[in-house]
Structure 1
Amino acid sequence: MASLFEPSENSQAKLEVVPNPVFSDPCLMPVTIKQIHDAMAKAGGERIVINHTAITNVRILGRIVGKELSGGKGNFDIEDGTGLINGIYWVDDFVNIDEFTEVQPGDYACVVGRIIYNSNQPVVSAYSVRKITNFDRITHHFLDCIHSFLQLEKLIAYIFRFSGTLEGVCIKVICQVTNTDEATAKALLNDLASIGEIYNTTDENRYKAT
């Protein structure tokens, strides 16, 4: 295990932490549509942050409520009980045409893709749109969404509880362990501070658990 704590010059204490347990694939995050809309509202045209992590690709499960295919471009709407979002899917006659044509309005589908802006609205640019026939996957998806959020919170709490120094934990450690940039880590730390879980110690970049 790597030592990730950066002590002050007067401290020799170190923090040993486990590898990041938040996502098995850090490039793919299970999300709800409400999470996407909420994140877009806060983003203001910039990058989208969900669970205090700048997202690249997302996984959505929901019901297809509208669909059309024209000139190799598929358009669809999907809703998951928390909201509705539009998606686009580029169809290749020899690769993925069957995958998209199999899914019909009223079917449940698993959509994997990235979030883009279209007229200031979130749109899923999908890499995969696959019909769901085992409805247990819907329940599992929502549990994954909850798990992703809770695991990140637990990871931060773990770091603070075992920092082992009076100075607390440097924000650079949080960035390294959670694989986020400083702005994202700062947002998470501010949230934890607002509910009384942590506080600043020697300066604004060092935190300790209450």
Structure 2
Amino acid sequence: MKEQLSQSLENSFSYQEYMDLMEDLVSAESTTGEINKDRVDFTALNHKRSRRLNKKLLLSEAENSIFNELKTKQIWLVITESWCGDAAQTLPVLNKLAEASENIDLKIILRDEHPELMDNFLTNGTRSIPKLIILTPDLEVITTWGPRTSAATKLVTDYKEKFGKIDAEFKAQLQLWYNKDKGSSIINELAEVARKIEEQEVVY
């Protein structure tokens, strides 16, 4: 798998490059992966949401210090697609955390261009995104996170159990939850992940 990871990193985007890609896709009325109207529309919506979060999202002094003081060098490799609604809420947060630490190198790749790598990091047997893979500089997998926080995952699971599927109504509810949460659940979970890595509680 190291070879897959190495090749993926060679083809990866920085966060700014990914935002530039999104802007180009919106201008072209296109999307990543398989092209259909829904995905094109979601890409445009996600671009707006990501830009808004880039401007509005601020880490508290305590949150910033957690990541600023990290000693363990790590690569945060995110598998995603431009049309993914959860990614639009997550990637801006990951970028803020990476910006707070000189030891986090954030890289982004597209799922459908790396299916073999994606299949090593399935969630309940599915290619759910966004998926964060935390690596050492020599590409050992330390741990993974995603596609959502435990709180958001519970919302999804409960809705599926009640209604059998995820629909437009639930997606609207989930968006409201993200708006209210303001990235705090993602920050808190990844702060705990960072703590465990620093204290070597994560075996890899």
Pairwise TM-score range, normalised by the shorter structure: under 0.3
Higher radius of gyration, 1 or 2: 1
TM-score of the superposed pair, with normalisation by structure 1: 0.24
Q: More helix per residue: 1 or 2?
A: 2
TM-score of the superposed pair, with normalisation by structure 2: 0.24
